[in-house]
Amino acid sequence: MHQGFRFICIFFPLALTGCMTWPSERFLQAAGAGDTYRLEALSMENQIDVNVRDADGRTALMLASMNGQLEALDWLIGSGADPMLVDHEGWHALMLAGAHGHRKLASRLIDLGLPVDHANRYGNTTLHWCAAEGRKELTALLLENGANPYLVNDLGWTPAAVAERAGFPDIVTLLSSFQDRRLRQGAARPKSGH
């Protein structure tokens, strides 16, 4: 056996099996898995910043949002995690929750004040992603909370255009009916100042 390899096997066996991770990596994994016990233990033992990021710039709160881990999200918020942070692509926790179909988390994040019309680096909003994924309940939730269905992404597509291209006619109908209702309400409003 080569002496260098023997040294590695003796002193770094966990690295060879892939089991050795840094506390911050274990913290991020715990958030994605919804393991609040491990989150608390790791943060106390290692004084981990609750806004620590992975290689993609995603925080523990973003990973909890993406994986539908409401209890972990609540723990992280209570521990000072910043829900307004974005990853390297411009995604925030609400976009991740919406794109992955987690309505309860999306609702909680809206209640926390996350902007429903935030766009990532390609101009896509949470509404664009919900339309692309055919997430009717989430599309309705976003519209009810002020999401703008007229915003276009970098390709010039509205959420309705995205839904149409993705093959979700029920989302197109929902967005169109909301747009029609908004137009009627705007036309019926008296103009101020006259």
Q: Does 183 score more than 70 pLDDT? A: no
Q: Which CATH class is domain 121-194?
A: mainly alpha
Q: Does 1 score more than 70 pLDDT? A: no
pTM for the model stands at 0.82
pLDDT, tens only, 150-168: 999 999 999 999 999 999 9
For residues 8, 13, 15, 18, the Cα torsion angle rounded to the nearest 10 degrees is 140
Tokens of 190: 């008296």
Phi, psi of 178 (to 5 degrees): -65, -40
Residue predicted with more confidence, 6 or 88: 88
Q: Which of 41, 39, 107 is nearest to 76 (CA)?
A: 39
Taking residues 139-150, report their average pLDDT: 96
CB 129 within 8 A of CB 85: no
- Count of all residues that appear for the chain in the document: 194
- Residue ranges per domain, the chain? 8-114, 121-194
Check residue 38 and give its pLDDT.
Answer: 96
Q: Does 36 score more than 60 pLDDT? A: yes
Question: What's the DSSP call for residue 178?
Answer: H
Taking residues 88-104, report their average pLDDT: 97
Question: What's the DSSP call for residue 108?
Answer: H
Q: Which CATH number fits domain 8-114: 1.25.40.20, 3.40.640.10, 3.30.365.10, 3.40.50.850?
A: 1.25.40.20
